[in-house]
């Protein structure tokens, strides 16, 4: 078990070892048990975290705000359209100033080819930990909550668990690739056999696939890619049917396109869930584009664990803050 975390950035789980992730999970479980017992967990009294949002948020904002409150600290919600960022203030200057006023800076910036770069620029200048609340490439807070939920439902030993990350049709907006990227990089590190399924044109970056396969080889998992959604559902223990944008092949931010409409049939249905293993889990980062991505009968059905998954965003967020803002 690793115990030295104070000041460590949380930008991608690729920069956290498995030992560090295991400690993070252990702390998440402890905090969740304390929450269930209504026990105090004020590990960060008088500590301040700044929450910078370039986009909308429900689970991420509220898990961070409620989480820091339960840890005894305070969150400042910062809509960047009301900050000097809107007038051109740089990531460096923002990071230096905020890190002199508080104890961590969390940021969500999902703009393609900008978000992760912005967080890296802040991290280079900040004297406090930078926490990634989702960028264009990574969503580590979602991935760690997903892993926690899988372990809760299927045990801490996830070796040879069949997990399918499946593209699904949605029209709400052109979504980042950060959730599937984080999942395919993390899950093979815990011995899972991961299937990545998507229609032609919705590829993830080549470097992601290469790194995911390296992780699989090192830790005993596997990764395969298919363009057949039924194949991905067949015998899967866990399925993540979720939309992501075709940013790699088409950088146009417009959600509606001929490529999207040609794949309306990529949808999680009751019939497709029948292809999965007995008692397979349906998971989704939320918000789900109901009717388009998934049938109500699935997301509201007995195999769905989406609300447990969403609650775990709270406990894992608390663990990240407790370790990086406090810890030792």
pLDDT values of the chain reduced to their tens digit, one per residue, 328 residues: 889 999 999 999 999 999 999 999 999 999 999 999 999 999 999 999 999 999 999 999 999 999 999 999 999 999 999 999 999 999 999 999 999 999 999 999 999 999 999 999 999 999 999 999 999 999 999 999 999 999 999 999 999 999 999 999 999 999 999 999 999 999 999 999 999 999 999 999 999 999 999 999 999 999 999 999 999 999 999 999 999 999 999 999 998 889 999 999 999 999 999 999 999 999 999 999 999 999 999 999 999 999 999 999 999 999 999 999 998 8
d(CA 26, CA 19): 11
For the beta carbon of residue 89, count every other beta carbon within 10 angstroms.
13
Give the neighbor-by-neighbor strand order of the sheet with 281-282: 222-226, 193-197, 162-167, 238-242, 281-282
Task: Tell me what pLDDT residue 126 has.
Answer: 98
Task: Tell me what pLDDT residue 1 has.
Answer: 86
Quote helix, strand, coil % in the chain, to nearest 5: 45, 15, 40
Domains recognised in the chain with CATH numbers: 13-139+311-326 (3.40.50.1370), 140-309 (3.40.50.1370)
User: Residue 201: which of 248, 138, 154, 149 has the closest Cα?
Assistant: 248
Task: Tell me what pLDDT residue 256 has.
Answer: 85
Largest CA distance in the chain: 55
d(CA 238, CA 236): 6
**For 162-185, how does the pLDDT look when each residue is reduced to its tens digit (9 = 90+)?**
999 999 999 999 999 999 999 999
pTM of the model: 0.97
**For residue 155, what are the CA distances in angstroms to 149, 151, 152, 241?**
9, 5, 6, 22
Distance of CA 285 to the CA centre of its chain: 7
Query: How many residues in the chain?
Result: 328
User: Residue 195: which of 305, 134, 276, 301 has the closest Cα?
Assistant: 276
Give the neighbor-by-neighbor strand order of the sheet with 74-79: 74-79, 48-53, 104-109, 130-135
What is the token pair recorded at 158?
């996830």
Task: Tell me what pLDDT residue 141 has.
Answer: 98
């Amino acid at each position: 078990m690793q115990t030295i975390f104070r000041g460590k950035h949380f930008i991608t789980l690729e920069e956290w070892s498995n030992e560090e992730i295991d400690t993070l999970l252990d702390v998440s479980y402890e905090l969740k048990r304390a929450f269930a017992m209504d026990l105090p967990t004020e590990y960060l009294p008088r500590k301040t975290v700044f929450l910078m949002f370039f986009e909308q948020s429900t689970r991420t904002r509220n898990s961070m705000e409620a989480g820091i409150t339960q840890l005894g600290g305070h969150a400042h919600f910062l809509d960047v359209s009301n900050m000097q960022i809107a007038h051109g203030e740089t990531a460096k200057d923002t990071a230096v100033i905020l890190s002199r006023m508080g104890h961590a800076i969390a940021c969500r910036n999902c703009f393609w080819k900008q978000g992760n770069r912005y967080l890296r620029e802040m991290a280079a200048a900040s004297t406090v930990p930078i926490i990634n609340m989702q960028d264009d490439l990574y969503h580590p807070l979602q991935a760690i909550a997903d892993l926690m939920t899988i372990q809760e439902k299927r045990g801490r030993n996830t070796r040879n668990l069949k997990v399918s990350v499946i593209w699904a049709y949605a029209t709400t907006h052109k979504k980042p690739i950060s959730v599937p990227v984080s999942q395919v990089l993390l899950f093979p590190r815990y011995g899972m056999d991961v299937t990545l399924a998507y229609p032609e044109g919705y590829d993830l970056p080549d470097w992601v696939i290469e790194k995911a396969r390296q992780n699989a080889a090192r830790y005993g998992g596997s990764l395969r890619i298919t363009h057949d959604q039924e194949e991905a559902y067949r015998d899967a223990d866990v399925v993540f049917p979720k939309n992501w944008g075709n940013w790699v092949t088409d950088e146009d931010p417009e959600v509606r396109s001929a490529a999207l409409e040609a794949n309306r049939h990529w949808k999680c249905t009751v019939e497709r869930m029948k292809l999965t293993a007995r008692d397979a889990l349906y998971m989704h980062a939320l918000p789900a584009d109901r009717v388009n991505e998934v049938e109500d009968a699935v997301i509201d059905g007995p195999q769905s664990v989406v609300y447990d998954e969403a609650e775990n965003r709270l406990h894992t967020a608390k663990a990240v803050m407790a370790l990086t803002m406090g810890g030792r």
